[in-house]
Amino acid sequence: MIPVIALVGRPNVGKSTLFNRLTRSRDALVADFAGLTRDRKYGESRLGSRPFIVIDTGGITGDETGVDSSMAQQALAAIDEADAVLLIVDAREGLNAADETLAMRLRQQSKPFNLVVNKVDGLNEEVAAADFYALGTPSLMTIAASQGRGVSSMIEEVLAAFPEPQLESIDDHPPDSIRVAVVGRPNVGKSTLVNRLLGEERVVVYDQPGTTRDSVYIDFERGDQKYTLIDTAGVRRRKNVSEVVEKFSIVKTLKAIEDAHVVVLLMDAHEGIVDQDMHLLGHCMDKGRALVLGVNKWDGIDSDQREWIRKELDRRLRFAEYADTHYISALHGTGVGHLYKSINGAYASATRKLSTNALNRILEGAAFDHPPPMVNGRRIKMRYAHAGGQNPPIIVIHGNQTAEVPNSYKRYLEKVYRRELKLVGTPVRIEFRSGDNPYSEKRNKLTQRQVQRKRRMMAHVKKSKKSRKK
Strand partners, 432: 397
Neighbours of 435 (CB within 10 A): 11
**96 annotated to a ligand binding site:** no
Does 297 show up as a binding residue in the annotation? yes
458 vs 351: CA distance, rounded Å: 64
Residue 349 dihedral angles phi and psi, to the nearest 5°: -70, -40
Pairing outcome for strands 290-296 and 262-268: parallel
> DSSP string of 225-294?
EEEEEEE------GGG---HHHHHHHHHHHHHHHH-SEEEEEEETTT-S-HHHHHHHHHHHHTT-EEEEE
299 is in an annotated binding site: yes
User: According to the annotation, is 399 in a ligand binding site?
Assistant: no
119 is in an annotated binding site: yes
**Quick one: which of 275, 207, 205, 283 has its CA closest to 251?**
283
191 is in an annotated binding site: yes
Q: Are 233 and 160 spatial neighbours (Cβ–Cβ below 8 Å)?
A: no
Is 233 annotated as belonging to a binding site?
Answer: yes
What's the farthest any 2 CA atoms get from each other in the chain? 126
Residues 6+ apart with CB under 8 A from 145: 14, 17, 18, 21, 118, 119, 151
Flag whether 437 is marked binding: no
| Pairwise CA distance, residues 110 & 80, whole Å | 10
Between CA 163 and CA 87 the distance in angstroms is 22
Residue 252 assigned to a binding site: no
CA distance 400 to 405: 10
**Is residue 101 part of an annotated ligand binding site?**
no
184 annotated ligand-binding residue: yes
* 136 has binding-site annotation: no
Cα radius of gyration (the chain): 32
Determine if residue 121 is labeled as part of a ligand binding site. Answer: yes
191: which strand partners? none
* 348 annotated to bind ligand: no
Q: Is 14 annotated as a binding residue?
A: yes
* Residue 12 labelled as part of a binding site: yes
Is residue 11 part of an annotated ligand binding site? yes
Query: 128 a known binding residue?
Result: no
Q: What angle do CA 66, 72, 73 make, to 5 degrees?
A: 100
Residue 9, annotated as binding a ligand: yes
190 annotated as a binding-site residue:
yes
Residue 186 assigned to a binding site: yes
Tell me if 466 is assigned to a ligand binding site: no
Q: Is the separation of the CB atoms in 200 and 85 below 8 Å?
A: no
Q: Is 322 helix (H, G, I), strand (E, B) or coil?
A: coil
The separation between CA 232 and the C-alpha centre of its own chain, rounded to angstroms, equals 9
Evaluate whether 348 touches 389 at the Cβ level (below 8 Å).
no
Confirm whether residue 445 is marked as ligand binding: no
Any known ligand binding at 43? no
94 is in an annotated binding site: no
Tell me the binding residues for GTP.
Answer: 9-16, 56-60, 118-121, 184-191, 231-235, 296-299
Binding residues: 9-16, 56-60, 118-121, 184-191, 231-235, 296-299
